[in-house]
Structure 1
């Protein structure tokens, strides 16, 4: 695919992603739902898996997302690592369960510590994720979202069983 076509595709995907996120957030404010999600601190040796979302001021984060109907937290965490990071993983433990009560909804997030079973393979042409890489903790991108940075710090401190605000 030539550079112009690739650039147009990526630009279109970025616009679509931004539109979907804006509409989703508006619907959340109207419906005021309670949501359940997962994130994972995925290690490969001394490195951590980070994924970059298509837009936003802090696009880097730990891999994660929503729990599907009928899906347990652990299965959702491993699915999200596979979908966003492109690698399989094995859960080692639960870091904690976190909550976020703002933007008109209640969000609860289970965060797992996992060991990667392969290299990161970022999705190609994905509407949400544009990159996935392993970083040394001190090299995590500056534009990483704040909740992910707090979870990484707690993991590095050896904390466990937390119940805190995202």
Structure 2
């Protein structure tokens, strides 16, 4: 139901609300320290360029596509859902690269890392994602988020 309500709200209004929601979620996590489970996907095009994106909320840096897991949601299904909802892409398959343990907003964070190859350009939803572009792996943009940097290193190591 919440998902439907969010889609009814016009994109500019949604974008305006997201920074506040991000700050509230950050403070909640710092206070509660509840473990967080998410997924990230290293998406490459047919030439091997890496897809990075910028969100409409939070710090202004480049990161990998992904997001949080819903209750009892399979990590691979969550990864596909995030790619479809935020970028309009659906890879034929995902390859798992295991998990990475870290911390987000003072809470323990488990990221399920996947990779996928796509043959089309993403279409950012203009709500959560305001920009998505492919970059040659030897020339990634700055600023690159700390988590994205760690996840890309793990992906390179585990391929």
Report if TM-score (shorter chain) is over 0.5: yes
Return the alpha-carbon distance in structure 2 between the equivalents of residues 44 and 122 of structure 1. 16
1:51 to 50, 53, 59: 53
Q: 1:31 to 1:153 in 2, by over 3 A?
A: closer
Query: 3-state DSSP class of the match of 2:50?
Result: strand
Which residue number in structure 1 is paired with residue 7 of structure 2?
A: none
Give structure 2 stretches of 5+ with no counterpart: 1-10
Alignment of 1:106 onto 2:108: yes
1:119 to 115, 121, 135: 121
- In our comparison, the structure showing a higher alpha carbon Rg is 1
Give runs of aligned pairs for residues 86-101 of structure 1, distance below 5 A.
Answer: 86-101=88-103
- For residues 18-48 of structure 1, the C-alpha deviation after alignment (integer angstroms, 9 at most, x for no partner) is 2111111111122221111000001111111
Give runs of aligned pairs for residues 26-45 of structure 1, distance below 5 A.
Answer: 26-45=27-46
Return the alpha-carbon distance in structure 2 between the equivalents of residues 119 and 107 of structure 1. 29
Which residue number in structure 2 is paired with residue 19 of structure 1?
A: 20
Question: What's the TM-score, normalizing by structure 1?
Answer: 0.77
Return the alpha-carbon distance in structure 2 between the equivalents of residues 33 and 52 of structure 1. 26
Which residue number in structure 2 is paired with residue 148 of structure 1?
A: 148
Shift of 1:55: 3.9
- For residues 34-84 of structure 1, the C-alpha deviation after alignment (integer angstroms, 9 at most, x for no partner) is 111000001111111111111444431000000111310100011111222
1:78 to 59, 77, 80: 80
Tell me how large the CA RMSD over aligned residues is: 2.2
